Chain A
């Protein structure tokens, strides 16, 4: 590609086309540009267009294209094509800084990004003159240029804030400091001087303050890893100026915008960060300056308004105070009662007030309000920062702070009482203050777990909370109602049970409130109360205590779901689930109505599933309804099937991906309840369950395996007699699963069920193939997980078909195979098997191999007999071997699925652990003793002699214990 007019023209035309809204024009142009970008001179052509074109739009387009090109191609990856020629690289680096600085801002930003991408790869070694080139520009006096440089420097240096210390990194920083620190300091001073010279020129000030903000950011990056010698020597200059800037106010720089932070706020906010950095990391050196900063920041807080635009500044400033006040050697700065009072009064209380922005969110954006207020995603808010400061101060001054605030709370409550209609926000603030003062530790599960003993929570509840809960008009003062409900929820672990019980019917009533926040809080509070545990781990609130309110509770919960805006409210659905779970059989009379409402809801949301949590709890509630009802009367399962199958069919037919795994789980639950034969409706579905399309989705695999297991448990005979042609397909699923390191355990679940339940004749012809497949996996890609499952399976097979059958089928596949498996797999690996049932299966299986397999006694396998016995005793007595070989640490990572395929397991659809051996063997050690006894009776003398020759003494001792317990002796 030559650098000529024709090529420039062509490039311009294609760039133009990439802006077309018509994909038919845009896409080919994008493709074309990508196809030629590997040519030499391509980036130079782009830069030329960017520089020379008369069309502003084309220039910006060239800049964006150039940046993306750099982003994709600059990094040289080993073994991959280097798309940018060396001459082009050199030319780009030689010109880009100049070009950036002479471009208008929009283009400048793109080129600045490009520089930092290049810098990340080439700086400093392969771009040695970049820094000096940049520094030289500081003297230009043109702040448009200077800000361009500062921005670029910021994007180059900001990684110093988060990268790990290393020689390479620190060498780079050192180099940067050597060249950059002094000129930056000069620039800082000069800029501040200019601010004074131009104190009345708003346009000049704007440019200068953006420079100062950038310089402050650079300061943060350069000082982050360690305190550089240069900055220690020049601390006076920097800190004095930072301090001055913090206290500076310029009317001209105040903005009218309420939301967007202005330059002054951004600068001060960064200075707070810088001071916090020094206070934390370079305490010793910073100590002389710290008190001044505390005062300045505190004054700043006192004088800063309530507007949203100050939020970041205020929360940064408060966080600075919070981090300083809990340090022992700065305690004295806060100790004075006047200081404390002033901080409480002027910093904390004002920032806890309910602002009009909060009020708007409460009414119009309830979802966001709830997330922020309930789920703690309020990290950067003023209220949160103020709370943190309260907690910080309480570390040393709990008594005085509590005292000061008590006065405040009382006066605010008095204000409220004078005129609730006008002053309700005072009560809100009072409640908030009490909450933040009382909370020392908190969890989602239990609410507040440690409270400030100086605050009487119960009394406050009686005097100020209960009034709002009891208020006959649930729709009056919704914010205060929500506060009251939240108070109960927050302090549920601290309040006495009587007060909680008193609250329950009131909370039920609040479910009817119009305010979304209010009824959501009521649902959430009830849900939390219902999870509380009392003595003996029983629920604190019992179904009997709930009996008078049950109907009202269920009614109101479903009514609140009908409020527009709450139709898919996850808190309400979770409360429904929790209510079912608590009330148990008390809900049975209402089930016909409830199931109708739930299926109706399911039908609606299945059209467009959008709230995963809501949907999850909906399915959990369905499962609970089924469990509770069928526990009382298993025959009712038919009526559930009748109600649910039409919706389920629709979901399966429309392939609603989010719901399919849930449907399989509910179906498993239903099928497992059936006691007699498998209904024909299930059999009709069976062939469809084997379709590859279903199994390709990883989220389906666990519930589908579970469902097939239920089919096998209930309908093995039916499958063998009426669907024998489907057995290969069933085994095909097993084969598919076994091929994957991630899913092989699921394949074994299926295989175990097949072996356990299918009539032996129906699978005889496939047995050998099954084992060959397993051996192939064992040969080609053995993993610990696979081996564990394999061991359980072969032992289950042995229990089911006998040890001789196992030995014969192995040796039939390949001579001496049985001995190899015993020696190389069973003996060395059986210690890794985990799980009670799994261990039991292995113990019983190995006992059979030891005592019911003549080949192990009479052939060359005999040498394995004692080691196998020893391994079995080890399985009984030694701790489980949970080591994982080094090369297996990474298996899961490469198989990790994307989020959308994650499988959501329904807790209330869970099945209890299945023990295929069951009561047949209650104590495997006794079984071993008895079996050995039987063996020794058959061939007297042999067993004791094998034991005495090679079984270690310790193992022998254990064995004798088993024999004694079983009261048998070896002959």
Chain B
């Protein structure tokens, strides 16, 4: 019986042991089209009475034009500029202030404060019609806020401002089309890192949201964030118990583990896994779902990373989630299991089976979603491959039959989805086709017309 009775997309996606990890990792956005209501986004926006984010062709974080690079404005020029009635001039002046404040050596924080610019910048934050000025003002303010402690006291007193600033920043970070330029992100990160230690919960939450937006992208972007050393703090916040903070910090962690093995390792090394038992039992379904998704990307990593998952005692919780989680959580947990079985060692897979993964996994074969079914069938196939290596195939087949899995797999042979029915057929043929009725597949061949034993005359040189 052939082991390769699979079609190619499946093979590259899960089957090969020399699998492509990036294929197993699943980014947050698989499908851009949404059928559902966009609930969460709506809530975030409502909080600040902003109707919607501008859907501009360019992000406010893009440096808009080269020609307005007003270098080295004096503080006086800035004061004049922001007082102008012309919006464009105000933008340029605020940008000039931000640049002054962003410079590495001796940013003129005191002078900006004493020029009375802060109230002006704060008022710009509410100019919804001009995202660029919101952004520049927010950035300028955070630069002031993250300056030396002496100077910041002044601003911290008005912490309501800081909330607005952080929120604006975070909303600006979420722009996707296009994403903020990397240089701008790099400049902003120290500020965010600083804010991540602030005691105000709203500030913390919004900063975490900002980081979650920045990490929601390709590996280079994740790298910029990870390099700042922010991960341990995020992990701390994961355990803060505040839903408003846990949600975005979990999102950030979840995004980071969609990256490379090293980026994932940064999360593991920061002790994130010890938070997962609580997250997987969180009273909010959404946290359970996000945690399972995050876990699925960790189990898509190397076997030593899977071992860390085991060592952290997470597997029983994964089984639990698979058994009792809500539908969306179960779907993510299925991925976590399949990735685990795909990259795990034989011992690790055995441990998973001993932890009673099979029953809840097989129950989910009645899920009304073809993809999830296929992913489960793949996990079963992976588990069998491990079973083959230790001669436990028969025992596995019996266990699967006992849990009612065989009936379900048999029923899937008539599934409308071609890949699902092929995968189930393949499992049945390979592992469930009777005791002594092993079919052996041997194929017809098409060469030679007779059986005269002879060799062709014109044999070229052999070279292997």
Give A residues with C-beta under 8 Å from B: 159, 161-167, 170-171, 173-174, 177, 224-229, 232, 277, 280-284, 323, 328, 376, 379, 441-446, 449-450, 613, 616, 620, 690, 692, 695-696, 698-699, 701-702, 728-736, 739-743, 746, 766, 769, 772-773, 775-776, 778-779, 782, 813-814, 817, 820-821, 824-825, 883-884, 886, 888-897, 901-907
Contacts and interface: CB of A to CB of B under 8 A. Distances in A.
A946 B369 CA distance: 64
B402 A698 contact: no
A775 to B, nearest CB: 5
A736 B454 CA distance: 11
Interface residues of B, number: 66
A740 B445 contact: yes
Interface of B: 2-6, 8, 11, 16, 18, 30-37, 285, 324, 326-327, 366-371, 374, 398, 401-404, 406-407, 411, 415-417, 419-420, 435-445, 447-448, 450-456, 459, 461-464
A578 to B, nearest CB: 11
Given A728-B453, A905-B438, A907-B436, A897 B401 contact: no
Which 5 interchain pairs have the tightest Cβ spacing? A895-B443, A740-B445, A732-B451, A892-B2, A742-B443
B447 A227 contact: no
Nearest to A380: B411
Given A165-B371, A729-B451, A742-B445, A893 B327 contact: no
B440 A902 contact: yes
A167 B34 CA distance: 9
14 contacts: A162-B370, A226-B35, A443-B398, A450-B402, A732-B450, A732-B452, A825-B464, A883-B18, A886-B16, A893-B2, A893-B4, A897-B441, A897-B442, A904-B439
A331 to B, nearest CB: 11
Given A162-B370, A281-B368, A896-B441, A735 B451 contact: yes
A769 B454 contact: yes
B398 A820 contact: no
B37 A775 contact: no
Given A441-B402, A734-B453, A817-B462, A896 B35 contact: no
A283 B326 contact: yes
B311 to A, nearest CB: 25
B416 to A, nearest CB: 4
Given A732-B452, A769-B453, A779-B464, A167 B445 contact: no
Contacts, number: 206
Given A164-B370, A442-B401, A896-B443, A769 B455 contact: yes
Given A283-B326, A442-B402, A893-B5, A820 B462 contact: yes
B27 to A, nearest CB: 13
Contacts of A442: 401-402
A161 B444 contact: no
Contact of A229 (B36, B326, B441): B36
A732 to B, nearest CB: 3
Given A379-B411, A442-B402, A692-B450, A224 B440 contact: no
A613 B436 CA distance: 11
B11 A889 contact: yes
A209 to B, nearest CB: 25
A813 B464 CA distance: 14
A166 B442 contact: no
Nearest to B436: A907
A892 B462 contact: no
Contacts of B406: 443
A902 B374 CA distance: 27
Contacts of A232: 36-37
Contacts of A445: 398, 401, 435
A446 B451 contact: no
A283 B367 CA distance: 13
A376 B367 CA distance: 21
A226 B455 CA distance: 63
Given A280-B367, A769-B455, A772-B455, A166 B31 contact: yes
Contacts of A825: 464
Contact of A162 (B403, B404, B416, B452): B416
Contacts of A284: 285, 326
Contacts of A824: 464
Question: Which one of B5, B374, B440 has the highest number of Cβ atoms from chain A below 10 Å of its Cβ?
Answer: B440
Grouping DSSP codes into helix (H, G, I), strand (E, B) and loop, the B interface class, with mixed when no group exceeds half, is loop
Given A162-B420, A443-B401, A820-B464, A897 B454 contact: no
B444 A897 contact: yes
A373 to B, nearest CB: 14
Contacts of B33: 167, 170-171, 174
Contact of B31 (A167, A177, A820, A891): A167
A933 to B, nearest CB: 33
Contacts of A446: 398
Contacts of A778: 462, 464
Contacts of A895: 441, 443-445
Contacts of B3: 892
Contacts of A281: 327, 368-369
A912 B407 CA distance: 35
Contacts of B5: 892-893, 896
A776 B401 contact: no
Nearest to A746: B442
B286 to A, nearest CB: 10
Contacts of A443: 398, 401-402, 406
Contacts of A907: 435-436
A225 B34 CA distance: 11
A902 B441 contact: yes
Given A164-B370, A174-B35, A226-B36, A889 B401 contact: no
Given A620-B436, A740-B447, A742-B445, A773 B30 contact: no
Contacts of A376: 407
Given A446-B398, A902-B439, A736 B444 contact: no
A280 B367 CA distance: 8
A470 B313 CA distance: 55
Contacts of A893: 2, 4-5
A379 B409 CA distance: 12
A743 B445 contact: yes
B35 A773 contact: no
Given A162-B420, A173-B35, A736-B448, A701 B326 contact: no
Contact of A733 (B16, B451, B461): B451
A616 B437 contact: yes
A229 B3 CA distance: 43
B453 A735 contact: yes
B378 to A, nearest CB: 13
B463 A779 contact: yes
B441 A892 contact: yes
A616 B456 CA distance: 43
A894 B4 CA distance: 11
Given A177-B35, A735-B451, A165 B30 contact: yes
A782 B463 CA distance: 12
Contacts of B445: 736, 739-743, 895
Contacts of B451: 690, 692, 695, 729, 732-733, 735-736
A288 B30 CA distance: 30
B32 A903 contact: no
Given A441-B402, A734-B453, A891-B4, A228 B462 contact: no
Nearest to B11: A889
Contacts of B327: 280-283
A215 B291 CA distance: 38
Contacts of A891: 4
A162 B448 CA distance: 45
Contacts of B34: 170, 226
B440 A903 contact: yes
Given A165-B371, A228-B36, A907-B436, 15 more contacts: A167-B31, A620-B436, A695-B451, A698-B442, A730-B453, A732-B450, A732-B452, A736-B447, A740-B443, A743-B442, A776-B456, A889-B6, A892-B4, A892-B443, A895-B444
